[in-house]
């Protein structure tokens, strides 16, 4: 698995260097569609996947707001999250655009009966920081470090469910 991660990182680096597009200023009225996720066919819980999507409208220069949806599933846990987010982007005049964000969500988890069978629903707060690297003027590779805090135990961990979570998310953003 580590070899795949190294190969992916190298291919992203080579692709980013080859295209080297400068980011256009992200101005009021622009729209962004974001997608991220992963699938792993060989985990202790068989096949595992996570998929997230978001749609944002820039309500003022560099500030976007919009809805976000996420799903996670394996043979033990099924989790979902739906809510809204806000993200502020910093113009650096380069292809790199750092951002900070926050989100408020309604989330739930269903734990299989053999693994404790605990189902929870609650509110979650997401705080994030990351960056976008523009491959072209309309497409950016994104990565973010997220911290999530919930009112219930909503996040799968080793042999338990927690009310906090740290995760790294990698995806693509499309601008129009």
List pLDDT tens digits, range 109-121: 998 766 566 788 9
Which DSSP state fits 45? T
Q: What is the pLDDT of residue 6?
A: 46
Residue 116 pLDDT: 61
Which pLDDT value is given to residue 14? 45
Instruction: Give the gyration radius of the chain's Cα atoms.
Output: 17
What is the predicted pLDDT for the residue at 57?
97
Domain boundaries 2-175, CATH class: mainly beta
**Residues with Cβ < 8 Å from 35, sequence gap 6 or more?**
51, 52, 53, 54, 171, 172
**Residue 159 structure tokens:** 């042999």
Which tokens sit at 65?
């707001």
End-to-end CA distance of the chain: 35
- What pLDDT does residue 20 have? 53
pLDDT the model gives residue 13: 52
Over 50: is that where the pLDDT of 29 sits?
A: yes
pLDDT given for residue 7 in this prediction: 45
């Amino acid at each position: 698995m580590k070899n795949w991660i190294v190969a992916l990182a190298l291919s992203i680096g080579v692709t980013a260097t080859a295209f080297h597009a400068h980011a256009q200023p992200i101005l009021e009225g622009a729209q962004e569609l974001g997608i991220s996720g992963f699938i792993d066919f060989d985990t202790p819980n068989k096949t595992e996947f996570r998929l997230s999507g978001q749609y944002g409208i820039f309500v003022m220069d560099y500030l976007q707001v919009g809805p976000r949806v996420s799903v996670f599933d394996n043979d033990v846990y099924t989790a979902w999250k739906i809510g809204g987010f806000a993200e502020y982007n910093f113009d650096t005049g380069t292809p790199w655009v750092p951002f900070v964000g926050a989100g408020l969500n309604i989330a739930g988890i269903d734990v299989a009966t053999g693994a404790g069978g605990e189902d929870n629903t609650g509110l979650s707060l997401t705080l994030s920081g990351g960056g976008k690297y523009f491959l072209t003027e309309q497409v950016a590779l994104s990565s973010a470090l997220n911290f999530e805090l919930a009112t219930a135990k909503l996040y799968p961990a080793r042999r338990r469910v927690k009310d906090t979570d740290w995760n790294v998310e990698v995806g693509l953003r499309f601008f129009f």
